[in-house]
Structure 1
Amino acid sequence: MTTPQTQPVGVVLVSHSAQVAVAVADLARNLTAGGALVAVAPAGGGPDGGLGTSSDLIAAAARSVDQGAGIAVLADLGSAVLTVKALLADDELPPGSRLLDAPFLEGAVAAVVTASTGAGLDAVAAAAAEAYTYRKV
């Protein structure tokens, strides 16, 4: 059993759509069942507010949730993933930032709920990845 951390892991949700990123962040926050307040930042859309991705928005979102316990980053589609990977490779995200291999919506919920228990980044990443196995039928 792991000991809960003082500060929860932060979560950044990167989507091609600002509205999608905000909606998934709101859903995940509302499903924490009274757990610790987890810093969740949506980073959606391009620099002009339309569809796309923005390295500046992603980096700012990561900085805004950084509490020193690590940052779980979830991305929706191709160029969002590539943008996060480039930011990580160039050390443009805070230390302890990690791109999670997880489905966007289910993974985000699992990550935020797990972070709300005080679990560390490894447990948050594992919970998000486990969302790939959720069966609906």
Structure 2
Amino acid sequence: MIGIVVVSHSGQAARGIVEIAAEMAEDVSIEPVGGDGDGGIGTVPDDIEEALAAADDGDGCLVLVDLGSAVMNADVAIEMSDVEAVIADGPVLEGAVNAAIAATGPDATLESVREQAEAARDIDKL
């Protein structure tokens, strides 16, 4: 099954997003990662790499990020990791929910889960 990693500059925000997404797909491995390692705001490539390893069961991981530097650090983590992973270009919360649901499908692939995460850009809230 495709794993999911949620990267936020705030560890608390990442955990909250994962909590919501996990309600929709409790069998999917979704790992939160965030903060600068000292309790502050930021992201750390080594922490992201650890989350990739924890979420992966061999089928790869989708990574959702909140802000620009999280993309850079996620890219570094993916390069350091042995896990096949891609970053979705979509909203982190809605994308995580869409991805989690998509990952439960028997024919889910890394690409199909990424597509669903990115499709969340078009969700109307009103």
TM-score range relative to shorter protein: over 0.9
Tell me the TM-score normalised to structure 1 length: 0.86
Looking at secondary structure, tell me which structure has more helix per residue: 2
Aligned partners of 2:61 and 2:51: how far apart in 1?
10
Q: Conserved in 2, the CA contact under 8 Å of 1:62 and 1:94?
A: no
The structure with more radius of gyration: 1
**1:4 corresponds to:** none
Q: Which runs of 4+ in 1 moved over 2 A?
A: none
Please show how residues 59-70 of structure 1 align to structure 2 within 5 Å. Answer: 59-70=49-60
Amino acid at match of 2:98: A
What is the number of residues matched between the two proteins? Answer: 125
The percentage of aligned residue pairs carrying the same residue is 38
Aligned partners of 1:105 and 1:41: how far apart in 2?
13
**2:87 corresponds to:** 99
Aligned partners of 1:41 and 1:58: how far apart in 2?
9
Aligned partners of 1:26 and 1:94: how far apart in 2?
26
Pick the aligned partner of 1:22 from 12, 15, 23. 15
| Partner secondary structure for residue 117 of structure 1 | coil
Q: Conserved in 1, the CA contact under 8 Å of 2:46 and 2:77?
A: no
- State whether structure 2 residue 123 is matched by structure 1 residue 130: no
Aligned partners of 1:72 and 1:114: how far apart in 2?
11
**1:121 corresponds to:** 110
Unaligned runs of 5+ in 2: none
Alpha carbon RMSD of aligned pairs, Å? 1.2
Aligned partners of 1:81 and 1:136: how far apart in 2?
25
| Partner secondary structure for residue 14 of structure 1 | strand
Cα distance, 1:94 vs. partner? 2.8
Aligned partners of 1:30 and 1:67: how far apart in 2?
20
Aligned partners of 1:94 and 1:9: how far apart in 2?
15
Aligned partners of 1:60 and 1:87: how far apart in 2?
9
Aligned partners of 2:122 and 2:34: how far apart in 1?
26
Q: Conserved in 2, the CA contact under 8 Å of 1:66 and 1:94?
A: no
Tell me the TM-score normalised to structure 2 length: 0.93
| Partner secondary structure for residue 102 of structure 1 | coil
| Partner secondary structure for residue 74 of structure 1 | strand
| Partner secondary structure for residue 96 of structure 2 | helix
